[in-house]
Amino acid sequence: MHDLVIAAILGLVQGITEFLPISSTGHLIIVGSLLNIQNQANINTFEVVIQLGSILAVVVLYWRRFWGLLAPKPLVRFSGVRGMGLLLLTTLPASIVGLFANSFIHDKLFNPVSVSLALAVGGAAILLVERRKARPRYVSLDDITPAVAFGIGCFQCLALWPGFSRSASTIMGGLLLGARRELAAEYSFMAAVPIMVAATGYSLLKNADALRHADWMFFAVGTLVSFLAALGAISLLIRLVSSMSFRPFAWYRLAIAPIVFYFWM
């Protein structure tokens, strides 16, 4: 199969799964095994870099909110320095833990047992959170407090466990902390931008010398497809989230956990 076709397939998988609470890591493992991908070092970097497409999709869909961080309005609380501070509070816990635990994560947690277990545990966690019937206390981004932002950031640390899913950890964390379902999803999307930019930049700097010139076209195609797929996935989830629970995603995770284990072995 042509390399650019592989790039497009991986970009499609990344874009669809990054913002749904189903783990992009698990799906990339399955698809990577099916495609029998070679040059593993560059593929690992590619799987991080194509997140740029997903990041851009969030920025495009929520450009007014991101612009408000730079050009705040008096009556909009999630804007300007306060809005950036909230996103910083959400980003801080996982950034610190990831910085010190990076070697441990790659050496001990990137294996079929760990990723499959993370998928299953995350699925069970979603089912438990969905059993709660608490009335939401926060209904819009302007209601987010520093304590809630930091709390969601602590939950985001669970995403450092490969297979758990960053979106699952932040959305479920938001629900547990009292956010309305739509708000939990929306804030999860926005909070993804700083942490994913940091991870992508770090991976590029770390592996820049090892990348061949030909890799950049491979990366560009994957990133473009990831962007388009993420636009569709985010738009779909926003439309569905007000009228359905996250239970289908939980059962799906539980179903694919053994499949990931099988394909990785």
Per residue in 98-131, pLDDT (tens digit) is 889 988 998 889 888 999 999 999 999 999 999 9
Mean confidence (pLDDT) of the chain: 89
The pTM assigned to this predicted structure is: 0.90
| 179, β-bridge pairs | 138
What gap in Å lies between CA 200 and CA 203, rounded to an integer? 5
Number of domains observed in the structure of the chain? 1
| Interval 192-220: pLDDT, tens | 999 888 877 777 777 666 666 657 888 88
Please say whether the beta carbons of 253 and 123 come within 8 A: yes
Please say whether the beta carbons of 154 and 113 come within 8 A: no
Burial 219-249 (b: 16+ CB within 10 A, else e): bbbbbbbbbebbbebbeebeeebeeeebeeb
What gap in Å lies between CA 144 and CA 187, rounded to an integer? 9
Among the ranges given (24-33, 116-125, 183-192, 249-258), the one the predictor scored with the smallest mean pLDDT: 24-33
- For residue 109, the 8-state DSSP code is I
Determine what percent of the chain is predicted with pLDDT higher than 70. Answer: 94
The domain in which residue 24 lies consists of 3-264
Question: How is residue 124 written in tokens?
Answer: 């069970």
Number of H helices, E strands in the chain: 12, 0
Question: How is residue 48 written in tokens?
Answer: 């991080």
Q: At residue 73, what are phi and psi to the nearest 5 degrees?
A: -110, 145
Q: Which H helix or E strand runs over 73?
A: none
Please say whether the beta carbons of 238 and 185 come within 8 A: yes
Q: What is the pLDDT of residue 213?
A: 62
Helix (H, G, I), strand (E, B) or coil at 150: helix
